[in-house]
Structure 1
Amino acid sequence: MYPSYNISPKAPDSTGMSTAVQLAAKFRLGWNIGNTFEAPGGETGWGSPVITEDYIKFVKQQGFNAIRLPCAWNLTHLADAKTAKIDPNWLNRVKEVVGYCVRNDIYVLLNIHWDGGWLEQNCTPLKKDSVNAKQRALWEQIATAMRDFDEHLMFASANEPNTSNAEQMNVLLSYHQTFINAVRSTGGKNSYRSLVIQGSSEWISLSAFPTDPASKRLMYEEHNYTPFQFTLMDGDQSWGKMFYYWGAARHSAIEPDRNPNWGEEAEQLKWFKRMKEEFVDKGIPVLMGEYGAYRRGGSSNIPKDLATHNDAVDYWLTYVTKEALAHGVKPFFWDTGGALDRKNNTVKDQRTIDALTAGGK
């Protein structure tokens, strides 16, 4: 369906390329540059300023030595949709930002993000062949362009894919397999690069993992916004109301209808225990590729017990970060410019940074 873009494969090069377990041990706190390279229309499409090397250095100064770079390729960055050829200017710009990270000893996770859902919303037998063809074409190009970066660069296959049954999960697994095959086929350091596959609403059993010709180079990724009503929900719904408070000791007596009725410490511990036992203990590093809780208090949705709310947000961030690391899970906080000012390289929400840092100690 598309031409092969693996037009210059190199001999495998394992120089300086650690196993996934060795690599994951080198990073602790991770940071997302969200709503930027995955924005339709490009880097500034959703209001983010152009990312500079100074900003990357600033992120590191705050204590984060790993960065996740959510990235779109399909919707607005194809020079030719018929051949799935990526605009070389876009490839070069993404490569430039990856270079900012690698030069500054920051580990960087580059993916094909939501991108209109061309993969994530099409884990179906009907779409299997066409999506696999595009997955291969895009990853052959991305992997070839980024091939000479050392182990600081990791690739991830997808973002929050949507499956609801075994048939759809099998299709998703084929997309992950195509990703691995495409990256490995380009050779060089890509023959040994750590690659990340992501679960969906259902987690992927280790027994169903894709086959990798490289030994011990796979990681697993899931996201953690539990409970959604506290972390991300921005308006009451018929099925439930927003939570403003979280944690057994941080419920509000002033506003009890905004206290959570699920998803507190025990739920978090259950999830981390599962990640540790199913993956970490068996030699598969786990990335919590996105997580976060955010302060309310704009023109609407203002907690009546604001002090307790802010304490609860701090507590969630510290607790989840701490438990992630205690269970061998590597956390990447989701930020879209709310905590760190990307234009002026200043801290906008010191409490959030302090809470994340406390969790990392």
Structure 2
Amino acid sequence: MGWACKSAEEEPAKLHISSMEIVWDEEGGEREVSITSNGPWTIAVSDDWLSVTPLSGQGSQCLSITVLANTSSEGREAAITLRAGSLHRTIKAKQLAGESFPAYYIPADQTDMRQISSLELAGEMGVGWNLGNSLEAIGGETAWGNPVVTKQLIDAVKTAGFTAVRIPVAWSKFTDESNFTIDPLWKERVEEVVNYVLDSDMYAIINIHWDGGWMQPTYAAEAAVNARLEAMWIQIALHFRDYDDHLLFAGTNEVMVEGDYGTPKPEYTEVQNGYNQTFVDAIRSTGGRNAHRHLIVQSFNTNIDHAVEFMEMPEDMIADRLMMEVHYYDPFEFALDADSPVSQWGNIADDPTKTAGWGGEAHAVGQFQKMKTHFVDKGIPVIVGEYGAISKTNLEDHSIYRAYYLEKITQTMLDQSLVPFYWDNGHTGNHGFGLFNRKNGHQAYPNLIENLLPNIY
């Protein structure tokens, strides 16, 4: 009896795979698996959170297996089944549990969010201006004496040479106070003003301002404030989530224990640092472009010395997207105290009895150098969110020194790579900070604007 060789077509089917089990972390990604076969094969996948390419083929090939990010708090498993004739093999696909995301979360989106650090972005902001005493007015937009904000006013600010606008906001206009539901009409009004700024090709910053003083940094208030702060910022962040990186969020304002201007207790700074963390976490929890948005956090009472001594920057899920904010009104007697007879400031002062005796030009240089050394030089930009000097038209020589003060303070900030935002409260008379007529946008103090913007004029 003779023997005959079997043809290739009669060779038994073969099906081997390089891995029988693959484990992904929560971020997912792509892996490759090798198939060794001598015939046609097909693939079936048990779940739609992973995909395989190709799903059929002939002979030996490599498979590409792609797994999506796991946003569930539980791990998951799926089966990838390969069949070749009567043979079948199964790959077990496993993925670790991911972070549990809230229902309002959407995946991070970097569309129109430039790949630049906060330090780089701060370098583009130039000199900023505050829309003070308007949207943060308790009782309504016009309750503190200013007219309704118009596009004409914001365009005038742009024309003057400012390149960024800080918009203080009181958000506690609730339709349901029990869960801090912000009135949709108020969110739309704030958005309208934000669009005035962005449409004028300027940067815009919105915050939660004083807002009635509910943000006290004490252990007794901590839990309630954190709950309210989180609820409000999530709503704000969701409303503005689709805006690009020309819109920034600033978590708070001058957080302090009301009436206590001394060195803060450890309790106060610990709680206030926690408020900054709550703010950052709330914004990032909304995903989308907010996952990449530049955020601004504040030192205790936005004080420079307290920033250096007590500030702890919050943790963030993305690197280089945080800025620091402080304010500057030194010396108080010249810059802020309406009742003080102090009318002179700086190296040009010629009557020591009319100066504060502290807070001169060398003091300003030293304070701003502290911020550069402790923050800017470490990659954290600094916003001086408010500064300025009130008018004292009742003191004959004050206007000369006020103009000199604004020029020197602004330039000293710029020299130390800080971003200045002049405080304008809309009042252009005695004891006011206003630079513009809020009704028509006309410049009330062209000389002061020129001193604030030395590189424009």
Aligned equivalent of 1:132, options 202, 212, 226: 226
Aligned equivalent of 1:323, options 408, 412, 426: 412
- Counterpart for residue 293 of structure 1: 389
* Aligned-pair CA distance for 1:157: 0.9
- Counterpart for residue 330 of structure 2: 226
* Aligned-pair CA distance for 1:9: 1.8
Aligned equivalent of 2:442, options 337, 346, 349: 346
Residues 319 and 359 in structure 1, CA contact (< 8 A), matched pair in contact too: no
Aligned equivalent of 2:291, options 191, 203, 209: 191
Residues 240-289 of structure 1: per-residue CA shift (max 9 Å, x gap): xx41100122233xxx5322211101110110110100011111010010
Aligned equivalent of 1:248, options 329, 334, 347: 347
Distance in 2 (alpha carbons) for counterparts of 1:100 and 1:204: 35
Structure number with greater Rg is: 2
Residues 250 and 311 in structure 1, CA contact (< 8 A), matched pair in contact too: no
Residues 273 and 311 in structure 2, CA contact (< 8 A), matched pair in contact too: no
- Counterpart for residue 133 of structure 2: 35
Residues 125 and 171 in structure 1, CA contact (< 8 A), matched pair in contact too: yes
* Aligned-pair CA distance for 1:176: 0.6
User: Helix, strand or coil for the counterpart of 1:222?
Assistant: strand
**Which amino acid counterpart does residue 166 of structure 1 have in structure 2?**
P
Q: Which moved more, 1:48-57 or 1:62-71?
A: 48-57
Residues 322 and 360 in structure 1, CA contact (< 8 A), matched pair in contact too: no
- Counterpart for residue 307 of structure 2: 203
From the two aligned structures, give the one with the greater strand fraction: 2
Residues 338 and 390 in structure 2, CA contact (< 8 A), matched pair in contact too: no
Distance in 1 (alpha carbons) for counterparts of 2:238 and 2:143: 26
* Aligned-pair CA distance for 1:205: 5.7
Residues 101-126 of structure 1: per-residue CA shift (max 9 Å, x gap): 1122110110000011111xx10111
Residues 282-319 of structure 1: per-residue CA shift (max 9 Å, x gap): 1101001000012211xxxx22xx2x422211111000
Structure 1's 10 and 248: CA in aligned 2 closer, same or farther, altered over 3 A?
A: same
1:1-361 to 2 correspondences below 5 Å: 7-17=103-113, 18-74=116-172, 77-119=173-215, 122-162=216-256, 164-200=264-300, 201=303, 202-203=306-307, 208-236=312-340, 242-252=341-351, 256-297=352-393, 302-303=394-395, 306=396, 308-337=397-426, 338-358=434-454
* Aligned-pair CA distance for 1:155: 0.5
CA RMSD of aligned residues (A): 1.7
* Aligned-pair CA distance for 1:86: 0.3
Residues 308 and 370 in structure 2, CA contact (< 8 A), matched pair in contact too: no
Distance in 1 (alpha carbons) for counterparts of 2:226 and 2:317: 19
**Which amino acid counterpart does residue 342 of structure 1 have in structure 2?**
R
- Counterpart for residue 3 of structure 1: none
Higher relative contact order (CA 8 A, sep 6+): 1
Distance in 2 (alpha carbons) for counterparts of 1:270 and 1:322: 14
**Which amino acid counterpart does residue 297 of structure 2 have in structure 1?**
I
Q: Percent identity?
A: 41
Residues 4-50 of structure 1: per-residue CA shift (max 9 Å, x gap): xx643221112232321121111101000000010011211111111
From the two aligned structures, give the one with the greater helix fraction: 1
Residues 34 and 69 in structure 1, CA contact (< 8 A), matched pair in contact too: yes
User: Helix, strand or coil for the counterpart of 1:332?
Assistant: strand
Distance in 1 (alpha carbons) for counterparts of 2:221 and 2:371: 30
* Aligned-pair CA distance for 1:189: 0.8
Q: Which runs of 5 or more residues in structure 2 are unaligned? A: 1-101, 258-263, 427-433
User: Helix, strand or coil for the counterpart of 2:367?
Assistant: helix
Residues 320 and 359 in structure 1, CA contact (< 8 A), matched pair in contact too: no
User: Helix, strand or coil for the counterpart of 2:346?
Assistant: coil
Distance in 2 (alpha carbons) for counterparts of 1:51 and 1:35: 11
Structure 1's 359 and 223: CA in aligned 2 closer, same or farther, altered over 3 A?
A: farther
Equivalent pairs, count = 338
TM-score, normalization by structure 2: 0.71
Residues 44 and 50 in structure 1, CA contact (< 8 A), matched pair in contact too: yes
Residues 54-94 of structure 1: per-residue CA shift (max 9 Å, x gap): 211110000001000000012xx111111100001001110
Distance in 2 (alpha carbons) for counterparts of 1:248 and 1:133: 49
